Structure 1
Amino acid sequence: MNRLLQAVLRLFAAPRVDMREDYEKVRRLQRQMAELPRPKYLALDEQIVSDDGSHPIPARVFQPKERRRDDVLLFFHGGGWVTGDIESYTPACATMADLTGCVVISVDYRLAPEHPFPAGLDDCYQVTRLLLDDPGRAGVNDADRIVLVGDSAGGNLAAVVSLLLKKNGHRGVTRQILLYPVTHWDHDPATSPFASVRTHGDDYRLTNLEVEDYFDLYVPDREQRRDWRVAPLMATDLSGQPKTLVVTAELDLLHDEGEAYGRALADAGNDASVYRVNGALHGFITLPRFARVLREGYEVINDFLDEGTRAGGVTDGGQITVVQAPEPEPS
């Protein structure tokens, strides 16, 4: 990304969006943008009833144009636990299905502030547990073919769901893909342990203030934000986790904490890999299919699904390798 483009992006990031006041407007805008143009896709909407029968959990099943893998990607969308839904993520999920050749199941979990923590997490956990117990509902005979995938806040939810499955003695997924996940609770540049919060926290796609807004709506109790179910990096036991791919974005304030989670998983003896996409902004998985960073991200994801090693990493603990692609040639 050249300096001129960086400067333009900073201009777009400058206006202050108060998510605590404007989250409903942002939701509407996201849905409108997802419809222009409407992607062609084959999907089926389903309703999964919560354990207590109090509410349905909508899910949308996306079929790829050409199915090349038996895996089913169980996807939790981003949006700071406050925005995003099945409709606004339909283009991204249709792209995910086509570029991986996998069926994608998108979960429409409950959002804050109407439903604060742990409502959305409970929905994701219930759907995951149900499909693991009855993989036929996901269209597979083997639960090992179910892969958890989440971006941003959805990456947070995927990581925590895996931790909850282990804690509750339930069988877990064998693989998870965490795209630029939220893993820590502190995004104040004055106190955060991560340099990327200070380097990229006031420009580009996502800012420190936006993250703070999201946390205010999702977990109003500040002390509760240190709970590992909110910040998985705070978990004291990370053993027994699925094989994990963490994909981070170079220009994202979350990239240090995402990579730290990959290292923590590796230190706990898990098979974990990290890949940082150069020049990428937070949320790049929602970009059009022709975007370089999107294509690069899916090359790494597909290699991981094929049990490849391109992402780099370790299987027996210790330091993890953060693999970066070479800088793109100037155009």
Structure 2
Amino acid sequence: MTKSDITFDPSLFDPSTVPQATSQINAYLIAKSLSAPKGQQWWDIGAGEFRRLQLEGKTSWPAPTYRAPNGSYIQIKSRDNYREIKCRLIPPPSLKPDGVFYYIHGGGHVLAHCDWSDELLEAISKATNLTVISPEYRLAPEHPYPRGSQDVFDVAEYLVDNSLTIYGGPLKFIGGESAGSLLSMLTFLHLVESRPTFSFQGATFIYGLFDWSFSPSCNDWSTPLIMKNENVKRFGEAYLGDRSMEQRRNPAISPIYHPLFRYPGSQIASLEDLKTETQKKRPKLPPALFLCGTLDPVIDDTILMSFKWQVAGGEALVKLIPGGPHGFQLFPLEQFEPVVIGRNILLDFLKEKL
């Protein structure tokens, strides 16, 4: 029997395979979204006001209340002499960490903060004996592209250069969720050029959007489960302003178009060009985890980006959580099955690659 070169399990996308408890919580979240008062989204009242209400627990997505007892804040210099970048630092229980995990939070480049993922980051530090550092990068629309990218790049370069001496071990992993996943990919590509001798041991990309000109799932997703196509487009407008779809395909904005991920031989004009192409040495890509739920508008981004990562020579572990919505990793661990499954996948990947 002839076998396909690409295989996947279609049952992952079959609604009947979603656990009943997951379906019940998803139904509750959809009902809550549909019953929310009109005109109360962040783009209606302004991002700054919405963030203030979040901190007071007055929105449908309240601010987390957990803070890791041993967490602290540090300041890392930015490219601007007058400004430092606040970062959240969570050390492992051990007094001798094995290295650093650089984690970048999500929020559509508009919402959330570096200390809103303490529960997850604490779990990572305990499971891996790594110090976890997360930057408070600047947010849109007050600070549109490229300011947030500049902040995460500055912190990354600092960690590459100083992590071993200051934080007890080298920078080993990079990762994030949602907008933080995109910023993690852009940071990796930035370091390929700015620190070419450096390499990560692994990277984790959790429900990231990698194409700001929008994949089909982002364009078509109208189900009001955490995030739908309108949310994605509003975030894009705040982050990128009035840039056209063609301008959004700039690899510095949408990393899926980066030359590193072009198919070999896709831009040749002659046999001589093909010989040159085959002689080029590509940067080594670290093993990467691509994690996403099947009820997430960025599912196409996850699948296509993971494929292009492999074409470029990297190892990619692709894991899809049946019924998982966008942002599931930030739900209370004991209340939502996708959180438990996703957390175990993430921690197992990190421990395997250490």
- Structure 2 residue corresponding to 1:257, chosen from 295, 301, 317: 301
Aligned twin of 1:228: 251
Could you tell me how far 1:236 is from its partner in structure 2? 2.3
Q: Conserved in 2, the CA contact under 8 Å of 1:180 and 1:258?
A: yes
TM-score by length of structure 1 reads 0.81
- Deviation per CA, 1:104-149, whole angstroms, max 9, x where unpaired? 1111011111111011111101111111111235623334xx2101
Aligned to 1:122: 150
Separation of aligned partners in 1, 2:205 and 2:27: 29
Give the C-alpha shift of residue 286 in structure 1. Answer: 1.0
Question: Is the alpha carbon distance of 1:247 and 1:259 closer, same or farther for their aligned partners in structure 2, counting shifts above 3 Å?
Answer: same
Q: What TM-score comes out, normalization by structure 2 length? A: 0.76
The higher relative CO (CA closer than 8 Å, separation ≥ 6) is in 2
Deviates more, 1:76-85 or 1:159-168: 159-168
The equivalent of 1:8 in structure 2 is 28
Q: Which amino acid aligns with 1:185?
A: W
Shift of the 99–168 alpha-carbon distance from structure 1 to 2, 3 Å rule, reads closer
Residues 196-215 of structure 1, C-alpha deviation per residue, up to 9 Å, x if partnerless? 652x4432011111111111
1:162 is aligned to 188
Which residue of the partner structure matches residue 52 of structure 2? Answer: 28
Contact 1:246 1:273 in 2 (8 A): yes
- Cα distance change, pair 49–195 in 1 and its aligned pair in 2 (3 A): closer
CA-to-aligned-CA distance 1:27-71 (integer Å, 9 cap, x gap): 224434576644442012111111231311001111244689724
Greater displacement, 23-32 / 173-182: 23-32
The answer to whether the Cα contact below 8 Å between 2:105 and 2:180 also exists between their aligned partners in 1 is yes
In the TM superposition, residue 157 of structure 1 has moved relative to its aligned partner by 0.1
Aligned residues: 300
Residue 169 (structure 1) shift:
5.0
2:101–2:133 CA contact under 8 A, matched in 1: yes
> SS of the residue aligned with 2:74?
strand
Question: CA separation in 2, counterparts of 1:119 and 1:69?
Answer: 31
Indicate conservation of the 8 Å contact 1:131/1:137, yes or no: no
What is the rounded CA distance, in whole Å, between the counterparts of 1:42 and 1:263 in structure 2? 38
Query: 5+ residue gaps in structure 1?
Result: 309-331
Name the aligned partner's letter for residue 260 of structure 2: D
Please give the alpha-carbon distance, in whole angstroms, between the structure 1 residues aligned to 2:322 and 2:85: 36
Map Cα deviations across residues 133-181 of structure 1 (whole Å, 9 max, x no partner). 11235623334xx210110000000001111111345324232111101
Residues 140 and 259 (structure 1), Cα distance of their counterparts in 2 relative to 1, 3 Å cut: farther
Distance 1:149 1:87, change over 3 A: same
Residue identity over aligned pairs, in percent, reads: 25
Paired with 1:261 and 1:7, the residues of 2 have a C-alpha distance of 29
Matching residue's letter, 2:73: D
Flag structure 2 segments of 5+ consecutive residues without an equivalent.
Answer: 1-18, 262-281
- 8 Å Cα contact 1:112/1:218 also seen in 2: yes
Alignment root-mean-square deviation, CA: 2.5
